[in-house]
Structure 1
Amino acid sequence: MAKSTIVSAVLLLACTVVVSKPALAAVEPAPAYDVSLEACIKKMTQKCGLELFHNIFHDGPDVSDSCCSTLAEMGDPCHSEFVDVVLSNDKFYARTAEYLKRSSNAWKRCKSIVGGH
């Protein structure tokens, strides 16, 4: 698996605001692209990916209830894989413990919201 390719895909999903979904679909994955991550990306909307990314990696506001539903549907393995891939990037690695705590808090909060409905 080419980590830089996966990091690029996750950061592309999380960071692009002006690119539409059809444009994202046109990006060709590298041959070593992790198929499980591709399946995870298909479950997450761009809006929710940005909310989650900002919440965990930029101390942003809580993830909205509707995005919590998307996150819960996506599942913990996908959530963990997204976070791990971003943390493999040197820019984020130094604050791994902080980001893992935020990730866990976001997951627990979303599960409690979804479980409460």
Structure 2
Amino acid sequence: MAMLKNLSALTILLAVTIVLLPRATFATVGIPDCAKGVTGDCGFGFFKIIVLGDTSTPTGECCRQLVKAGKNCHNQFVESIVSSRKPIRGTISDVYRRSNETWNNCSATISVSPPEPAH
């Protein structure tokens, strides 16, 4: 009987986890669809630089991913962070300044070909 109760409790816990997991994942991510090509490591690196004021330099590969995603996508990411009211280092102006510096540094070092026109 005790085993049946444990099995029932485990089943309920599993069902609740399955129902809540997609919502929790979506709520914490907040990444624009256009940034799907930016890896988690690169995204976290940009977050640390732009939001937390980390003085490290993004890798060439991360810059390629950022430039490929585009300036508009980069701006959407920054806006989502600013509007989320997550803790930042410094002021919102500092975040925008670091964002522009990051974009300018990456775009100056990386050349990405424009997408092929659709036929």
RMSD between superposed Cα atoms in Å: 2.5
Who is 2:72 aligned against?
77
Distance apart, 1:92 and its partner CA: 3.6
Structure 1, unaligned runs of 5 or more: 14-36
2:37 pairs with 1:43: yes
Aligned-residue sequence identity (percent) comes to: 25
Distance 1:7 1:77, change over 3 A: farther
Q: Normalization by structure 1: what TM-score?
A: 0.64
Deviations along 1:43-101, one digit per CA (max 9) or x if unpaired, are: 21101101100111112211111100000000011100000000012234972100000
| Gaps in structure 2 of 5+ consecutive residues | 1-24, 112-119
Instruction: With the length of structure 2 as denominator, give the TM-score of the two structures.
Output: 0.63
Decide which structure has the larger Cα Rg and report it. Answer: 2
CA contact (8 A) 2:34 2:69 kept: yes
Structure 1 residue matching 2:77: 3-state secondary structure: helix
Letter matched to residue 84 of structure 2: N
Deviations 1:14-65 (A, max 9, x none): xxxxxxxxxxxxxxxxxxxxxxx2x223121101101100111112211111
Q: In structure 2, what is the Cα distance between the partners aligned to 1:6 and 1:112?
A: 33
How many residue pairs get aligned? The number is 86
